[in-house]
A and B are shown apart, each in its own frame.
Chain A
Amino acid sequence: MRITQGTFSFLPDLTDAQITSQVAYCQRNGWAVNIEFTDDPHPRNTYWDMWGQPMFDFKDPAAVLYELNECRKVYKGRAYIRLSAFDATASWESLRLSFITDRPEEEPGFTLERQEVNGRSVHYTTRAYATDKPAGSRY
């Protein structure tokens, strides 16, 4: 299954040309583009590992694509990689765009866990099959 987190997640993977035009759009608006990766696909996992610093001073998509390819050299097929754009202007100070660029080869998906409390009450939670294996060797 393909996890549907972030923008464009219901579409097929973006090509490099499409990623370039998205990054150009973000840079035109003055947003800081950032690369993150993770191997834990749980929807509540908000803070992925950062690849380098946020690239607030790069004014050209080629520089961001260079860093993205460096990240792919290490993590392609082994982790999710996403690009996000942060808008630092007053009253925004938050992400304006965030989309996944690379996924692991096999995405096992999620299961629903039920926990019985106080007799018959049930608490539900989502568990990712990937997290059954230890971090670093999940895919």
Chain B
Amino acid sequence: MADDIATAPVIDLDAAFQDSGVGPILEQLETELVGLRPVKRRIREIAALLLIDKLRKDVGLTSQPPTLHMSFTGNPGTGKTTVAARMADILHRLGYIRSNHLVSVTRDDLVGQYIGHTAPKTKEILKKAMGGVLFIDEAYYLYRAENERDYGQEAIEIMLQVMESRRNDLVVIMAGYADRMNQFFTSNPGFRSRIAHHIDFPDYSADELLQIAELMLKEQSYRFSPAARDAFAKYMSARMSLPHFSNARSVRNALDRARLRQAVRLFETRGHAITKDDLMTLEADEVLASRVFAAAEEAAQGADS
């Protein structure tokens, strides 16, 4: 015991945190991704684990690197594919994987068309992804319960084997809609246990969608006029209650339509000088012209009569 006290090294958590460069990564995540509380929380937890692991290594305690396979579930347009693309970069900068390349595949990249075709195809993809992240979009299409001659099952088995034996070389991220992913995990008993992080992507709130809209516009050098911003907020709450709402994707479509109407307005009122500001600003009329408002009015009238 006396030896421990005499030779105990000084463990400076703050210094290690500064050196690791993790802080800027987390800040960037906060500013660039709107909402997504569970995702940000999980990334923060992984970053903390990395830091502590590094400190442990410095004082001579070894531990196994954690399993990082993930499953992203959520409704359409909630950012699953976007976050997966960033996850490779984040994990690489946190030092968990060797390189930041992301190999993004769907079912037909993994499954073959004839007997003996699937195994080499799947293995090639796995080898190509080694050192980085393999992202499987709509993973549940691999499992066709009704067709027992489907080769998707073989691809799943090869993948599970590699996910377990090559945990240090490869991170697999699967994404898809929640109920179908649950069904997919029942296809193989070992599946759920191999995936360490099941992250759910919640639907965005109206405020978050407005924030996303502003971010998207800023990227494309557009902006809302104050009246347009209010109109868009009203538009969002009306649209959210209508069917087939796809969160961020619906926002993007709405903004594209607003840009269309702006272009038409600028063209039809040509004749006087247009400033750069005019080109950048979306007015309230562009948003209010949407059929969503007409539909809402009809619904209200229908309710009255």
Interface, chain A (partner B; CB < 8 A): 55, 57-63, 66-67
Instruction: Chain B residues near A62: list those with CB within 8 A.
Output: 130-131, 166, 169-170
B176 contacts partner chain A, Cβ-Cβ < 8 Å: no
> How far is B127's CA from A55's CA once the two chains are assembled, in angstroms?
10
Q: Does B197 contact A (CB under 8 A)?
A: no
Main secondary structure of the interface of B (DSSP, over half): loop
On chain A, the residues within 8 Å of B169 by CB distance are 60, 62
Please, which residues of chain B bring their CB within 8 A of the CB of A57?
128
Contacts of B101 in A (CB 8 A): 59
Q: A60-B131, A63-B128 are in contact. List 16 more A-B contacts (CB 8 A).
A: A55-B127, A57-B128, A58-B127, A59-B99, A59-B101, A59-B128, A59-B131, A60-B98, A60-B99, A60-B132, A62-B131, A62-B166, A62-B170, A63-B131, A66-B130, A67-B127
Contacts of B98 in A (CB 8 A): 60
Nearest CB of B to A67, in Å: 7
Q: How does the 8 Å CB contact mask read for B98-113 relative to A, with 1 for contact and 0 for none?
A: 1101000000000000
Give the chain B neighbours of A59 by CB distance below 8 A: 99, 101, 128, 131-132
Identify the interface centre among B128, B130, B166, B169: most chain A CB within 10 Å of its CB.
Answer: B130
CB-CB under 8 A from B132, the residues of chain A are: 59-60
Q: B128 contacts which chain A residues (CB < 8 A)?
A: 57-59, 63
Q: Which chain B residue lies CB-closest to A70?
A: B123
The minimal Cβ–Cβ distance linking B242 to chain A, given in whole angstroms, is 45
Please give, as numbers and ranges, the residues of chain B lying within 8 Å of A58 by CB-CB distance.
Answer: 127-128, 130
In the bound assembly, the distance between CA atoms of A62 and B131 in angstroms comes to 7
Output the least CB separation between A24 and chain B (Å).
9
Complex formed: what's the CA distance from A67 to B166 in Å?
14
**Residue in B closest to A57 when the chains form the complex, CB atoms:** B128
Which of under 10, 10 to 19, 20 to 34, or 35 or more describes the interface residues of B?
Answer: 10 to 19
Distance of A62 Cα from B129 Cα, bound (Å): 10
The complex places the Cα of A61 from the Cα of B131 at a distance, in Å, of 8
- In this complex, what residue of B is CB-closest to A64? B127
Among B132, B166, B169, residue most surrounded by chain A Cβ atoms (within 10 Å): B169
What's the nearest-Cβ distance from chain B to residue A61, in Å?
A: 8
Q: Mark B73-102, 1 if CB is under 8 A from A, else 0.
A: 000000000000000000000000011010
Report the Cα distance A60→B128, complex, angstroms: 8
Once bound together, how far apart are the Cα atoms of A63 and B130, in whole Å?
6
Give the one of B127, B128, B166 with max A CB within 10 A: B127
The CA-CA distance from A59 to B101 in the complex, in Å, is 9
The distance in angstroms between the C-alpha atoms of A67 and B120, with both chains bound, is 12
The 20 sampled A-B contact pairs (Cβ below 8 Å) are A55-B127, A58-B130, A59-B99, A59-B128, A59-B131, A60-B98, A60-B99, A60-B130, A60-B131, A60-B132, A60-B169, A61-B131, A62-B130, A62-B166, A63-B127, A63-B130, A63-B131, A66-B127, A66-B130, A67-B127
* Shortest CB distance A100–B (Å): 23
Closest A residue to B168 using CB positions: A62
B167 → chain A, closest Cβ, in Å? 11
Chain A residue, CB-CB nearest to B101: A59
Q: Which of A55, A57, A59, A61 has the most CB of B within 10 A?
A: A59
Set of chain B residues within 8 Å of A61, measured between Cβ atoms:
131
B98's closest neighbor in chain A, by CB? A60
Nearest CB in chain A: distance from B136 CB, A: 18
Distance of A60 Cα from B166 Cα, bound (Å): 13
The 3 closest A-B pairs by CB, nearest first: A60-B131, A63-B127, A62-B169
Query: Which residue of A has the minimal Cβ distance to B120?
Result: A52
> How far is B162's CA from A66's CA once the two chains are assembled, in angstroms?
11
